[in-house]
Structure 1
Amino acid sequence: MLSAPALAQTAAAPFDAAKAFGSREGVLDIAISPDGKKLAVVIPRPVGGEAVTVLDLEGVAKPQLALTSKGVTEQIQSCHWAGNTRLLCSLWFVDGKGKDTYGFTRSVALNPDGSNAKVIGLTKAMNAVYRSSYGGDLIDLNGGGEGVVLMARQFVPNLGTGTILKADKEGLGVVRIDTNSGKETIVEQPKLTVSSFIADGQGKVRIIGLQTPDSNGYAGNKVFYRYRPAEGGDWRDLSTVTYDPAGTYSGFDPVAVDPAANVAYGFDERNGFKALYKVPLDGSGAAPSIVLSKAGIDVDGLLRIGRNQRIVGATYATLHRVAEYSDPELARLSQSLRRALGNKTQLGVIDASADESKLVLFAGGDTDPGKYYLFDKTSKKLSELLAQRPLLNGAKLGAMQAITFPAADGTAIPAYLTLPPGSDGKNLPLVVMPHGGPEARDEWGFDWLSQFFASRGYAVIQPQYRGSTGFGSAFFGRNGFQAWRKAIGDIDDAARWAIKQGVASADKVAIVGWSYGGYAALQSQVVDPTLYKAVVAIAPVTDLDVLRNEWINTTAYKLESARIGTGPHVEEGSPARHADVFRAPVLLFHGDRDQNVGVGESRLMASKLKAAGKSVDYVEFPGLDHQLDDSAARSRMLSQSDAFLRKALGLPPG
């Protein structure tokens, strides 16, 4: 197995569960060079932040440190190979304090040894009319030449004084960038009405999305997609996507172009469920045709491979995530590798060399945090590369069981149940763990939060409440904010089911949630203050109007406001307004630079609970964003949560 400097760590003795489960993933991103000779790996640093390490797959050169970040307000998100000797990395920054906190992305190109570093795309001009949080997105690695790429980026006008420094271009455009020199050429002129671009993997922009703002500058609820023929020419109408107030959409939503077949792939609804479609880009005006549709299941992912992002299939989640390959060779290879690694293993192709002779794979499962592998098609050799969570090597994990339970109205609610390793599954302390979003869902596989609590002796149930995605538009309903009563009802019914089945002891039931899950944990006290004996809420929404106002200075304000809705459900569904009914003790965590849910939401909840004379503890992490991407912070959060729950549930200290 290859090792990178920051991964050279071993588990401490005795086993520290909070540290082992709270430590960030060993590999945050991984990419193989076009010639298949090197890997660029983004890894967490022991002192915080991230590092980009370049590994020689031929074993000739020592690992090279290309780039580091300090963490907290500065993170490395991903790295790609712009060429065999050039990397292009995406960075995330958080600046400002309090209400003036804002996040922004930037890109940097550099050599594998860190030399010749250049900021790519949007830079901060001293005389810019306004600041842009969007530093650009890589849309095509094959921009024409070694190290040349296509990027969509925001153009911001500058204030000029009659000098050549004045810049009037504004809006989203596409630039061809030579990452070696930093020189850029405009490929698609920027416009304020443009919302997105899609390239074909061969250096051509083929699809443009247009979203006309209203008179106040807020984004409209329709996106008009147009395409350009392979030979070039004017834009032609492709489709219109309309977003409804609940947050769902209708209309063919393109996501990729297959240049060989000259078609666009995208998603639309069919019989109440998402399906994969394709549309020819030949000017024929043919309607979208079905590529893959499943009764009762949302087909929600497109499988792509390599630098050209070749389309090789589609994916959807039932009890497990399923990949259906349209490429016969990859279908056979996937089956063969799954058998070699264990049929219960999740297997995915993460990256490929330019000729696809070398594949970077990830394999893992519910009781296996997973490893990265290199498969050489020529030699048919499968080599282990890096472990995802080395601190959990040898740790016993609980199996994640897919179950269903009846809601109060009889609706079958999918869920996952994880029991402590070796447990008989009877009369256990229970943690109900609703997912965030709410437009999301849990899936079968390793989950560091649920596995931590299972390792500490708790049964963990993760209900896929109404308002979750992946189960069709009827199940999604009016989303988990407007229809919070159904969502919270389903979540609470998960606890009642576990008690009725004898899995959980009725006096030892707690709820733990993150983001919307934290909102659900708090709002459950408003609905039924007696059900849970303890509440842990991480980065929670606590007032729906406060959440709405967090979007007021963005172009998405009107869409987000419609998603939350107006009416009695806002007041009734804001837990900070009902602190007086709480009975269970509450533990809150929040990062003070959170860009998803403002830190003011937890501060408000804590102050309201204290004013009402309720039991509340609040932990605020300086400099951290919504995900608390810091091993020390996550470990502390787990340790304090466990101690809090044990005290509240009357369990012996661990």
Structure 2
Amino acid sequence: MALAKKIGLSFVLSLLVGVAACAETAEYPPPVTPPPPPPARTADATPPPAATAAVKGPAAPRVDTSLIPRDVLFGNPDRASPQFSRDGKQISFLAPVDGVMNVWVGPAEDPSKAKPVTADKVRGIRQYFWAYTNDHVLYVQDKGGDENWHLYAVDLKKGETKDLTPIDGIAARISGVSQKIPGEVLVGINDRDKKVHDLYRIDIKTGEKKLVFKNEGNYAGFETDDDFKVRLAMRKGPDGGDVFIDPNAKPKEKGKEPEPYLTVPFEDAETTAPVGFDGSGKTLYLLDSRGRNTAALFELDFATKKAKLLIEDAKADVQRFITHPKTGKLQAAAAVFDKPTWQTIDKSIQPDLELLGKLGDGELRVLSRTLDDKRWLVALVPSDGPVKYYRYDRDKKKTEFLFTNLKALEGKPLSKMHPVVIKSRDGLDLVSYLTLPKASDPEVDGRPDKPLPMVLLVHGGPWARDTWGLNGMHQWLANRGYAVLSVNYRGSTGFGKKFLNAGNNEWAGKMHDDLIDAVKWAVDGKVADGAKVAIMGGSYGGYATLVGLTFTPDQFACGVDIVGPSNLKTLLATIPPYWAPMVATFHKRMGDPGTPEGTKLLEERSPLSHVGKIKKPLLIGQGANDPRVKQAESDQIVKAMQAKNIPVTYVLYPDEGHGFARPENRMSFNAVAETFLAQCLGGPVEPVGDDFKGSSLQVPAGVEQVYGISEALPKK
């Protein structure tokens, strides 16, 4: 069965960088179908030379000592991601040790007695889970953001940690754990061929591995069952669609591959996929948009392919699931338009969900369940307060508050996030999220008392989405006096295949028009001051920032680009080897560099091709080890701007990848960004203070353009 359901974790590929302490999401190894971009930097990807253009020093921005400190919003949480061991005797969570996030374990009845069981001293652990042995915790980690993930096992009795995948240059992918095989884990490893992953069973205690499936079919991913048997293998078709093969089926001709079990055309590829098998291996859960628009949830008899519709929603794809910890049966699922709409499949948990729904205002998330299903760990996630964690006893129907993720957030002037639906110029519904400074919205109706400076915060992916909830970036910017608007532009996931496919070949086209339409909505509605709108984002959001300053140079007052590609041709030319099976999809959605038309489109839609049009201030942040958007993507646009004497400030982190994982680096970049935005939009700032301490921050270009940054840098 799919690992997300097996181990009870929510795997979210977060392409927005600067994940705050108050956020519940975290980065994790790339899923089977990651968004496009390139491998780690090459040896010659050196920082560009310092700018030669003379720039007058900026004026000091207004300091406000009442602001919520950045170290609260972007530092480590007190505790996060609590889980029960499978037998319910122990509880675990992530918490800092000397400022670095590690796994803590203690008795389930008394979390205060928990002690750290891992000893990461650099990047911090962001995802972990329990083995079915109840004596081992498993986690993944890379080096410096290179995304060459290794899987580690912590033996709680011996106090030892073992690297289960001690091979240089590989990106391990966890494929499954099973109550039937508690002492092993199923892992994909690309050591034989960097382009594909073979599947191995690895002994958690000894590290010994046994080959389960040799990937000679160029498969991009697998669905396995509780016996660690490969039931479906997926490859991308030449049209960018998906082909699922049952490797256990009998082929029509000897020596040939079996006929496809499931064929998904390109237009349905992002909205049709297996969710996983139940514990018996006889039932396959499938999200399917074929013959419809939104992805509905079906239950299939795997042998006969007889399908039963379980849940559907006319406006949104089914995206979230609650699964029985022992049987693997799906018990509830939710479609997410502006907020999750849960529907129950197994009525036995309906009373539990109704009772937990009374905990308070916010989104309820079931995080962990014991194997006997007697106790749950749940989170209540509001948009304007810390996350609250509870223990729930199903027999007694009793909830017990455990702790919040960050005590320092309690009582802070946080703002509510408001879902809004904005019409695009061609009639699409753009589900968006607006957060306003608390003092500007006394009636809490999502309308300020006067137009405000605004930050358009663009999500990454682009095949991802923004959601409602506690968002550190929104809270930070709103607290600094800005309206904050996040827009699910066309191409975003979760709103049906028509909406997603409307973004095909529309990078810097209609996808950007949607962002402009959202700004117009905000200005016309007197939410935003049209002369003071900044654009900011990470990954695709960074690209959108560069597009905003090049394609619509008069629209935005300034831009903040974080790990954004500047040249779509070089982006696609440097796709990591293990993403090669998905290359046809990238070409269909962005432009095919193998055709004259595609090459022209990619050149036209690259901000680097229009760099001379930039006239507004630009801040760029980049990780030197980024395997998706290489350092060269930022280097080349900085060099091009310098060649034309266009000012730019460039911040580089030699120990980061696609986003800033270390809290010291997050805080240092956001200290720079806060002052940069204040110079552009006029908001207040918290002084840099000690926010550069412990950071690897370098400023290869434009240090003199952001007030106080040069003075705050460590003296060499």
Q: TM-score, normalised by structure 2?
A: 0.77
1:182 maps onto 2:207 in alignment: yes
Contact 1:138 1:149 survives alignment (8 Å):
no
Letter in 2 for 1:223: V
Contact 2:352 2:394 survives alignment (8 Å):
no
Contact 1:312 1:326 survives alignment (8 Å):
yes
1:105-133 residue CA offsets vs partner (Å, 9 max, x unmatched): 2222222266243332x332xxxxxx652
Compute the displacement of 1:206 (Å). 5.6
Q: Distance in 1 between matches of 2:421 and 2:310?
A: 30
- Residue equivalent to 1:164: none
Match of 2:261 among 234, 239, 256: 239
Change (3 A) 1:567 1:345: same
- Residue equivalent to 1:274: 295
Contact 2:213 2:230 survives alignment (8 Å):
no
Q: Cα RMSD between the aligned structures?
A: 3.1
1:615 maps onto 2:647 in alignment: yes
Equivalent residues in 2 for 1:90-239, closer than 5 Å: 90-94=140-144, 102-112=146-156, 115-120=159-164, 122-124=165-167, 133-144=170-181, 147-154=182-189, 156-157=191-192, 172-188=197-213, 191-201=216-226, 203-205=227-229, 207-211=231-235, 221-226=241-246, 239=261
1:598 maps onto 2:620 in alignment: no
1:349 maps onto 2:363 in alignment: no
Q: Distance in 2 between matches of 1:276 and 1:646?
A: 47
- Residue equivalent to 1:461: 485
Match of 1:527 among 551, 563, 570: 551
Compute the displacement of 1:350 (Å). 0.9
Contact 1:609 1:615 survives alignment (8 Å):
yes
- Residue equivalent to 2:468: 444
Equivalent residues in 2 for 1:16-415, closer than 5 Å: 16-48=68-100, 50-59=101-110, 62-72=113-123, 75=125, 77-94=127-144, 102-112=146-156, 115-120=159-164, 122-124=165-167, 133-144=170-181, 147-154=182-189, 156-157=191-192, 172-188=197-213, 191-201=216-226, 203-205=227-229, 207-211=231-235, 221-226=241-246, 239-242=261-264, 244=266, 249=269, 253-260=273-280, 262-269=282-289, 270-281=291-302, 283-286=303-306, 288-306=307-325, 309-339=328-358, 341-342=359-360, 344-415=361-432
- Residue equivalent to 1:127: none
Equivalent residues in 2 for 1:480-491, closer than 5 Å: 482-491=506-515
Contact 1:582 1:614 survives alignment (8 Å):
yes
1:273-296 residue CA offsets vs partner (Å, 9 max, x unmatched): 211122212x3353x332222112
Q: Distance in 2 between matches of 1:527 and 1:220?
A: 29
Structure 1, unaligned stretches of length 5 or more? 1-6, 8-12, 96-101, 125-130, 159-168
Q: Distance in 1 between matches of 2:221 and 2:509?
A: 35
User: Quick check: which one's strand share is greater?
Assistant: 1
Q: Distance in 1 between matches of 2:657 and 2:476?
A: 22
Compute the displacement of 1:563 (Å). 3.2
Q: TM-score, normalised by structure 1?
A: 0.84
Letter in 2 for 1:77: Q
Tell me how many residue pairs correspond in the alignment. Answer: 601
1:222-257 residue CA offsets vs partner (Å, 9 max, x unmatched): 43231769xxxx99766334463x7x5189622211
* SS of equivalent to 2:71: helix
Change (3 A) 1:60 1:220: closer
Q: Distance in 2 between matches of 1:251 and 1:75?
A: 31
Contact 2:319 2:335 survives alignment (8 Å):
yes
Q: Distance in 1 between matches of 2:525 and 2:112?
A: 58
Q: Distance in 1 between matches of 2:137 and 2:666?
A: 30
* SS of equivalent to 1:641: helix
- Residue equivalent to 2:444: none
Change (3 A) 1:299 1:610: same
1:536 maps onto 2:560 in alignment: yes
Q: Which moved more, 1:576-585 or 1:20-29?
A: 20-29
RCO higher in structure (CA 8 A, sep ≥6): 2
Change (3 A) 1:172 1:529: closer
Q: Distance in 2 between matches of 1:170 and 1:589?
A: 29
Contact 2:242 2:269 survives alignment (8 Å):
no
Contact 2:310 2:345 survives alignment (8 Å):
no
Q: Distance in 1 between matches of 2:159 and 2:370?
A: 23
Letter in 1 for 2:288: D
Change (3 A) 1:69 1:399: same
* SS of equivalent to 2:364: strand
1:619-639 residue CA offsets vs partner (Å, 9 max, x unmatched): 111211212111121122222
Contact 2:73 2:472 survives alignment (8 Å):
yes
1:368-420 residue CA offsets vs partner (Å, 9 max, x unmatched): 23122211223333222332233322112111111122323344422111111
Q: Distance in 2 between matches of 1:27 and 1:625?
A: 24
Q: Which moved more, 1:108-117 or 1:595-604?
A: 108-117
Contact 1:536 1:587 survives alignment (8 Å):
yes
* SS of equivalent to 1:211: strand
Change (3 A) 1:348 1:238: farther
1:418-473 residue CA offsets vs partner (Å, 9 max, x unmatched): 11112141221111112111111111111111111011110111111111111222
Change (3 A) 1:625 1:417: same
Q: Distance in 2 between matches of 1:155 and 1:653?
A: 47
- Residue equivalent to 1:166: none
Q: Which moved more, 1:16-25 or 1:495-504?
A: 16-25
Compute the displacement of 1:136 (Å). 3.9
Contact 1:513 1:520 survives alignment (8 Å):
yes
Compute the displacement of 1:179 (Å). 2.0
Compute the displacement of 1:523 (Å). 0.3
How high is the sequence identity, in percent, across the aligned residues? 24
